[in-house]
Chain A
Amino acid sequence: MLGIEDKYVLAAYLLCIGSAALCVIYGAINWNRGEEPVEPDDVRWAEEEKKVEEEL
């Protein structure tokens, strides 16, 4: 298959494509899921992070 005889190399080749496909499918299915409200912790964190970045 695909000109690769060694089954472990072929497995790696196909697993690379398969796992990328898994990522695409997962991402597509969950495209609109996982919305989270911004909590006070998040805002405080972001403000502190901005300060850290600016100091640099």
Chain B
Amino acid sequence: MLAQTLGPLEIIIVVVYLLAIAYLGWLGFRRTKTASDYLVAGRKTHPFVMALSYGATFISTSAIVGFGGVAGMFGMSLLWLTFLNIFVGIFIAFVFLGGPTRRMGHHLDAHTFPELLGRRYRSKFIQMFAGLVIFLFIPLYSAAVLIGGCAFIAQQFGIHYNVALLVFSVIIAAYVVVGGLKGVMYTDALQGSIMFIGMIVLLIYTYVLVGGVTGGHEKLAALGADQPNLFSKIGFQGWAAMPAFGFGDAEGAADPKSYYDLWWIVISTITLGVGIGVLAQPQLVVRFMTVRSRKELNRAVLVGGVFILIMTGVAFTVGSLSNVYFMETETVTGTLLREADGKVIVKRQRNINAAKDPDNPDVVALPARLLYLDVNGDETADVHLIASAPGKLQAIMPKAVITPTGYQVGDTVTVQPRASAYMRALVPRGKDTVECMTSRIIPTYIGSAMPKWFGLVFLLTLLAAAMSTLSSQFHALGTAIGRDVFEQATGRREASIGVTRIGILVGIVIAVLISYMNPGGGFIIARATAIFFGLCASAFLPAFLGGLLFRRVTKAGAIASMIVGFLVTAFWLLLVKDAEAAALGLVFKVTGGKPSILADHATWHVVDPIIVALPASLIVMIVVSLLTKPPAAEHVERCFGRKK
């Protein structure tokens, strides 16, 4: 099937690309072009190379396909995350943290993020604790990256998600084995360049398609006013508007307890969780140590700011605008293979404008008339759905137009679905059942709206984005378990290398297993990313910033802060935040069947742990540091260098 949808030219281009990456990786291997080689040789890294390499590590398929899909579902309010990505993730990180991280890392001879923390505070426990948290939770983020890539491959080539996962995992594993782990700067920079070009083309093409910048936005705003929408109960007010803001019961709303949910999902989980968490991402922090001087960081700010704008800014804008395309422009022509009454699963366990499925109460589903259309002539069906009872099911496709009107099975028909992006991102789930998949929004849009050659460019873009991020994640994961946990615990340096390698292997397997079990339903990609970023922020950020910028922060303060940040986050995810708590299951035993211990109170159950855990962790660090003896003067001097 793969060969059927892919022409020989396309296969050749993908193979050539993979060979080029392998060659560059091999060059790096042979000619030692890693960042530290530059440093050893006392030479400079080109600022574009440094920034693109950082950007390619930072931005993954999770950001483009996962969060882009969430923008397709919830709209342009997600641009707040892009703002934080640029302002916090690039500007603040490079201007205020890059230099101190580099200096302290070099003074203390630290080579991993946990090692930096451990040596700053002279604590084996800190290093091992941080290493363990990274080892245990980074596979969640890796899985988010894998799911994003597979969702696109599955859509683009019309293959099953599991086949895509297998192919993708093999490519990634091969890349990692061939030497991608070394973080070869030029490979990453090539990946970054491909991502940059792919996203620019996507942006320009999309704005042209929807009628220009202002025109497109106006159309998007007008569509949002077309209520009721599937998400209006949780505060959705249109794709070009913020969700309704407030806390607690919303008086006068159809569902007062849920009306402010969406705002808290978009702002607390997606924007703050990810936007702030980036500062304590282990695989990004170590990048700062590999630069030669502040000058390179200054120069990288220029490239990095533009790069991130073009990555997440474009993904979120295009995701939102895809609604204009799907509602106004899209037509699908194909042979009608079958027509049947079925249902569409729209969202699991969320209070939206749809009834629970009587056969499966965990699922919210809508009855629908399904049309099975063969679009590409391979005699298998691509599913498109039509509302069975216009007027009742405004949320599906009430305005769909099918021509010719007197069609029969076997005829060639043209359908104008006129549905939202979310309603067009479908995956079959058993007989006459389909499920809306947020992660399919961007792939569906590209498959339907963009020219075929672009699908290939975008595939390379995503492969690039996934490879560069995954290799750095696995690097962080391997060194966390080998160098930070095993070596600290046993003191055996030689054996730790083997543990690192096994750790990487285990990490890859776990990430693939998580991806296998979560094929992109709901907004799993964004959520898994947010959990990891949020956890890093709450557990590591105060200790990292405090240790980096303030001499007075003590070992006891850092340990207390890390433990409190971790425990509060764990408590919140296990018992309070309903989506995660329900997935983990413990909460049902505690509450006797409710998805949150605060399920009866409005809003609290959608508040992200970072809102509670980060301030708690910060306050604990300050208080405990003030109550304990300041660190020894000579050690502080070693960390920070001599006072000027």
Q: Which of A12, A22, A30 touches B298 (beta carbons < 8 Å)?
A: A30
A4 touches B303 (CB 8 A): no
Nearest B residue to A46, CB-CB: B39
B86 touches A12 (CB 8 A): no
**B: number of interface residues (CB 8 Å):** 69
Which residues in window 1-43 of A have CB below 8 A to B?
2-6, 8-9, 12-13, 15-17, 19-24, 26-28, 30-36, 38-39, 41-43
A46 touches B217 (CB 8 A): no
Nearest A residue to B313, CB-CB: A16
B299 touches A31 (CB 8 A): yes
A49 touches B76 (CB 8 A): no
Which residues in window 597-639 of B have CB below 8 A to A?
none
Given the known interface contacts A3-B217, A49-B290, A50-B40, the answer about A33 and B76 at a Cβ–Cβ threshold of 8 Å is no
B83 within 8 A of A: yes
B36 touches A53 (CB 8 A): yes
Residues of B within 8 A of A52 (CB): 111, 479, 483
Nearest CB on A from B413, distance (A): 34
How many pairs of A and B residues are in contact by the CB < 8 Å rule? 174
B240 within 8 A of A: yes
Q: How large is the interface on A (under 10, 10 to 19, 20 to 34, 35 or more residues)?
A: 35 or more
Residues of B within 8 A of A26 (CB): 91, 95, 298, 301-302
Give the CA-CA distance A53 to B289 in the complex, in Å: 14
Give the CA-CA distance A4 to B99 in the complex, in Å: 39
Give the CA-CA distance A19 to B290 in the complex, in Å: 25
Nearest CB on A from B603, distance (A): 19
Nearest B residue to A45, CB-CB: B106
Residues of B within 8 A of A15 (CB): 83, 87
Nearest B residue to A1, CB-CB: B214
Give the CA-CA distance A24 to B303 in the complex, in Å: 7
Give the CA-CA distance A22 to B327 in the complex, in Å: 36
Give the CA-CA distance A5 to B111 in the complex, in Å: 48
Question: At the interface with chain A, which of B304-312, B435-443, B536-544?
Answer: B304-312
B: residues with CB less than 8 A from A are 32, 34, 36-37, 39-40, 42, 75-77, 79-80, 82-83, 86-87, 90-91, 95, 99, 105-107, 109, 111, 181-183, 213-221, 237-238, 240-242, 289-290, 292-306, 308-309, 313, 475, 478-479, 483, 497, 500-501
Q: Known contacts A16-B79, A26-B298; can you find 11 more A-B pairs with CB under 8 A?
A: A2-B213, A22-B87, A24-B306, A27-B301, A36-B293, A42-B106, A45-B111, A50-B34, A52-B111, A52-B483, A55-B497
A: residues with CB less than 8 A from B are 2-6, 8-9, 12-13, 15-17, 19-24, 26-28, 30-36, 38-39, 41-50, 52-53, 55-56
